[in-house]
Amino acid sequence: MKKLKVGVIGVGHLGKLHSKMFQSIENCELIGIYDSNNETAKSVAQEFQTAVFNNLDDLLKSTEAVSIAATTSAHFQLALKAFEFNNHVFIEKPITATIEEAEELVRISNERKLNLQVGHIERFNPGLLALEHYITNPMFIQSDRLAQFNPRGTDVAVVLDLMIHDIDIILSFIKSPVKSIEANGVEVVSDHIDIANARIQFENGAVANVTASRISQKKMRKMRIFQKDTYLSLDFVTGVSEVYRLLPIDSPVTNGSISFGEIGIGQKKKRLLYEQPETKEINALQYELQLFVNSVLNKTKPVVSGEDGLRALKVADAIIGKINESKMVMQ
């Protein structure tokens, strides 16, 4: 079996998890790790019994692909270096700190035919995967992503730290250009936006109302999706999905479904059915890294491509811009 030679760049909290996951994936081989903090690198390398590289070039000479789990500000230069050595790249979200950097990485990856996958891990949440075949044409989406304060991630606005997960998911559902954005937000405990709300309107009439906070008392990560005759609810923390559907009155009540009776009058009567789709036991990080390895070995496009990461970054950047505009008006 062909095994992809993989390295990990940046072995803080996320990079350490990447190292662990790569060792559990059969069709790849963890060649080694690199971190600007040599002591951290040595500790992680010892834990996972892999090589530590003191020089990034030496790692890139030995690998075919790398995952970049360093700070966002370092993403661009590290990915550029990886591309120089013809390495495929998995890069944690957000793809880069600026739109210009992201556009350059997408351009180079396409020119060199190198895979670029962005780590929008919530795409692989078991609850979301269970809803895939129910989602057809969302017209309204409400998402709330609230977290307790953690200093990690406060080097960027909450829009780039947390909200971008939901932005990416929403853009993957609604196949229409963004028409307009309204947004508000405030800094509370850091130098960047800690709470934000955005209303995104699409050209096809769909609307998404997105809220993110990193100073909440309790963790909450929920999304509600409304489309014709269907209401979908997803809890990203528990992985539980719920589906309410209006179906023709003579529709059978299948195993696993609960009928709440009839709704409507005369010919418009429909049957309301409720169900909880079955979710599979999936480690989201392991699954997305496995798909990255598979895409490189099979020479296929990544599930969450560089273009996807760029599109989410553009919307996030526009939201931050609108928040900054509203602050100037208030002043």
pLDDT in tens, 262-277: 776 666 788 888 999 9
Integer distance in angstroms from the first to the last C-alpha of the chain?
A: 63
pLDDT reported for residue 264: 66
Domain map (residue ranges) of the chain: 4-120+284-303, 240-278
27, 77, 156, 182, 323 from 86: Cα distances, Å: 19, 14, 30, 41, 39
What's the token pair of residue 278? 């079955």
Task: Sort residue 275 into left (φ over 0), alpha (ψ -120 to 50) or beta.
Answer: beta
- Per-residue confidence band for 135, with pLDDT thresholds at 50, 70 and 90: very high
What's the token pair of residue 183? 């947004």
pLDDT reported for residue 258: 77
Q: Tell me, which fold does domain 4-120+284-303 have in CATH?
A: Rossmann fold (3.40.50)
162 neighbors 185 (Cβ within 8 angstroms): no
SS3 170: helix
Average pLDDT, the chain: 93
pLDDT in tens, 253-309: 776 777 776 776 666 788 888 999 999 899 999 999 999 999 999 999 999 999 999
Is pLDDT at 21 greater than 80 in this prediction?
Answer: yes
What's the token pair of residue 140? 């309204």
86, 203, 257, 299 from 251: Cα distances, Å: 55, 34, 11, 43
SS3 112: coil
> DSSP assignment of 235-284, as one string?
ETTTTEEEEEEEEETT----TTEEEEEEESSGGG-EEEEEE--------H
Residue % of the chain over a pLDDT of 70: 95
Question: Which residue bears the tokens 């060792």?
Answer: 23
Is pLDDT at 331 greater than 60 in this prediction?
Answer: no
Question: What span, in angstroms and rounded, lies between the C-alpha atoms of 245 and 100?
Answer: 43
Question: What span, in angstroms and rounded, lies between the C-alpha atoms of 144 and 328?
Answer: 26
pLDDT in tens, 57-96: 999 999 999 999 999 999 999 999 999 999 999 999 999 9
What sign does the dihedral 212-217-221-224 (CA atoms) show?
A: negative
